[in-house]
């Protein structure tokens, strides 16, 4: 058996790859980290096959297989013979060398000297605000919907990088909808254009948005205005419905 604890770095909170995961996959990722520490005495991050993992977690094997494949798409785990492996687990769990400990000590000392007499509370508050800003960017409903639309229409499940987030923010500002992203990807695919990054889709999504708005305006023009009865200030349809209900007409 391996040790009863693992290193879980707090920087995981700022990782866009983790921040954009649905809650279900976030839980699965943490479970894979814990099981890698529990089951693999070599500390290489090796995991057993899906059937055994499902037994450990007391979950359905088929649903777990789907979750693991999605975690693979996010770059968290990789399939290997007879199981899976958590990427970079060995490196992240390795004990810090003497030089690394000295480096961290020096970095902390430099931070203390830089902040001077500033209160620890102020420093922590600033750090929390920066973290919340990054999380808000990643967890914005509008951004999340565009990410899902892009992933669904392309089949590319890689976690967004900084350039991708910039593209999604630009699309939100332009009032581009998820349907526009999907139609933009389709246009690029049909015309043999590149769509493997969200930033490649902005222009085609803008075109899809213009086409959608033109169609909406045309549909509005095709709807005839209601005709009002001058005596009752009702539309003809409303007057007919009222008189039918009152039994005046049959």
pLDDT digits (tens, 9 = 90+) for 104-160: 777 777 766 665 555 555 655 665 555 555 555 555 788 889 999 999 999 887 778
Residue 227 reports pLDDT greater than 60: yes
127 found inside a domain: yes
Residue 236, domain member (yes or no): no
Q: What is the residue whose two structure tokens read 């954009």?
A: 20
Q: For the chain, how many structural domains are there in total?
A: 3
Residues 88, 23, single domain; the answer is yes
Contact between 199 and 162 (Cβ < 8 Å):
no
91 vs 221, residue with greater confidence: 91
Q: What is the mean pLDDT of the chain?
A: 82
Q: How far is CA 127 from the centre of its chain?
A: 23
**Domain match, 48 and 86 both:** yes
Question: What share of the chain in percent tops pLDDT 90?
Answer: 38
Residue 45 lies in a domain: yes
For residues 182 and 206, membership in a common domain is answered with yes
CA 19, CA 13: separation in Å to the nearest integer?
7
pLDDT value at residue 1: 42
Tell me the whole-structure pTM to 2 decimals: 0.41
Residue where a domain terminates, one of 59, 93, 127: 93
pLDDT value for 2: 46
Domain CATH number, residue 57: 1.10.10.10
Residue 17 tokens read as 């790859």
Domain of 167 in residue numbering reads as: 140-222
- Give, in order, the Cα–Cα distances in Å from 77 to each of 54, 82, 86, 139: 16, 14, 4, 23
pLDDT, tens digit, 9 for 90 and up, residues 67-89: 999 999 999 999 999 999 999 89
Look at residue 1 and tell me if it is in a domain.
Answer: no
Residues 185 and 147 in one domain: yes
Residue 147, domain member (yes or no):
yes
Tokens of 31: 């479970």
Residue 177 lies in a domain: yes
Nearest-angstrom CA–CA distance, 62 and 54: 9
């Amino acid at each position: 058996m391996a040790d009863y604890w693992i290193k879980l770095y707090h920087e995981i909170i700022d990782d866009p790859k983790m921040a954009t995961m649905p809650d279900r996959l976030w839980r699965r990722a943490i479970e894979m980290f814990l099981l890698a520490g529990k089951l693999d005495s070599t500390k290489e991050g090796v995991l057993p096959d899906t059937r055994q993992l499902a037994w450990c977690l007391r979950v359905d094997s088929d649903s777990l297989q789907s979750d693991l494949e999605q975690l693979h798409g996010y770059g968290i785990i990789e399939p290997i013979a007879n199981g899976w492996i958590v990427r970079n687990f060995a490196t992240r769990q390795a004990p810090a060398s003497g030089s690394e400990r000295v480096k961290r000590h020096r970095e902390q000392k430099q931070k203390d000297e830089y902040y001077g007499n500033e209160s620890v509370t102020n420093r922590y508050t600033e750090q929390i605000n920066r973290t919340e800003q990054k999380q808000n960017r990643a967890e914005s409903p509008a951004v999340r919907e565009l990410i899902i639309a892009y992933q669904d229409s392309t089949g590319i499940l890689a976690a967004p990088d900084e350039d991708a987030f910039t593209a999604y923010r630009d699309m939100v500002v332009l009032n581009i909808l998820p349907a526009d992203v999907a139609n933009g990807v389709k246009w690029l695919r049909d015309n043999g254009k590149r769509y493997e990054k969200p930033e490649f889709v902005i222009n085609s999504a803008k075109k899809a948005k213009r086409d959608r708005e033109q169609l909406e305006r045309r549909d509005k023009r095709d709807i005839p205005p209601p005709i009002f009865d001058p005596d009752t200030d009702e539309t003809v349809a409303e007057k007919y419905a009222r008189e039918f209900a009152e039994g005046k007409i049959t």
